Structure 1
Amino acid sequence: MEGALGRTVMVVPTYNEAENLAWIVERLRRAEPEVDVMIVDDGSPDGTGEIADGLAAADPQVQVVHRSEKAGLGAAYLHGFRVALAQGYDVIGEMDADGSHQPEQLYRLRSALLDADLVIGSRYVPGGSVVNWPLFRRLLSALGNLYVRLLLGMKVRDSTAGYRLFRRTTLEKIDIGSVNVTGYVFQTDMAWRTVQAGLTVREVPIEFVERVRGDSKMSSDVAIESLQRITWWGLRQRTSRVLGALRPVRR
């Protein structure tokens, strides 16, 4: 598959993931030996950056990008994407460092990318599932994705998912330099931009497993920011359509 897709790198952002990083990188390298790994660490105070340096020193297919501060998930991914594009990668992926995205299922995304521009590992298509989430968290996530579909008119069922593969041509076409969100709403923004560009988005089922070590980075502030951004995008789109319909037709 490497020959068909070209060079692939998984971007793995980290902040205080010392308990998980070596474990998840080892699983990824074992499951997909052809795939490179780029760890983007936001100055973790728990020693994650040093662990990442050790992994890179021991494996030429692992590299580390050090950032000086925690500036948000989206900012870390955008930094990693720019580095990966500059290094000539053909496929650039996203994956969490906490084990919620199983490297052993990456082959599903890679196979689907053969005829797509963006592939999302989805919890909410047939065959997808979530493990170890309380009912409230499940409802919040499912309703959030329903809200996105209704407000933006986007058919993607799991636009907030963070297990993804982009073709480099996709990232170039949607102009990542103009992306100005840094939090978790980044995931929805990237999916929305891809759809608006007329590109093909495919979803494949994954089993999402809640972390068992370390602390989640999700908070009420993050959820509120996402809701506000998505509402603004939806209202802006509807306003644009209304204004377009009211413009007089030139003869």
Structure 2
Amino acid sequence: MTEVVKGPRHYRSPKREAQAAATRAEIAGAARRLFIAKGYPRTTLADIAEAAGVAVPTVKLAYRTKPQVLVAAWDHAVKDGADPRPVVEQEWFREMISTPDQREQLRLQVAGSRLVKSRIAPVIEVIRAAAPADQEIDALWEKMQAEFHDNQRHTIRALRNKGPLRAGLSEDEATDVLYTLNHPTLYQMLVGHLGWSGERYQEWLTRTLIDQLLEPSAHQGRASTAG
């Protein structure tokens, strides 16, 4: 009788998997803080390992390369809020899309995205600065920009379904305007570098988007005529 030789058994340990996930999150969080504070070029894997309380081989085992650590830091920033789901699945985004009023949609968009930008804008600046010197990071940057632009088109289409855009403004132009004004880089310039408060930024962007994307309301039109 031929003996059946069985291959090695692979056991899953939920406890070990949880520990590994916690270690990866600790590394990503430490990298995120260091990349923002020191910049990508000056941050080493040894710096990240020390900040995370692990050995350098552990960092390499978790993410292999420094560019992959930066990708992990980006993912950590995106998911670091109270709701770790993708933005388009979060309640504030769904509420923004479903509201029947155009101006309320823009108010909700600015309010919700401001909270996201406070986490991701500094990391985006790290990625933007590092992209020209690294092909992998440059590919990440281009992918991020394409996805962000697509998301702006999605919200512009929802806006058009509720009423007209500003006269003479096509969907493509409106998408470009929203992409530019709503971009986290502009948030980082105004809040991170120029010292605007989050509230001032939110008020300014809401007013600016309403002015640039929508037809003036009847009340606004009468005030302009009277002036």
Scaled by the length of structure 2, the TM-score of the pair is: 0.32
- Over alpha carbons, which structure has the higher Rg? 2
RCO (CA 8 Å, sep 6+): is it higher in 1 or 2? Answer: 1
Higher helix share: 2
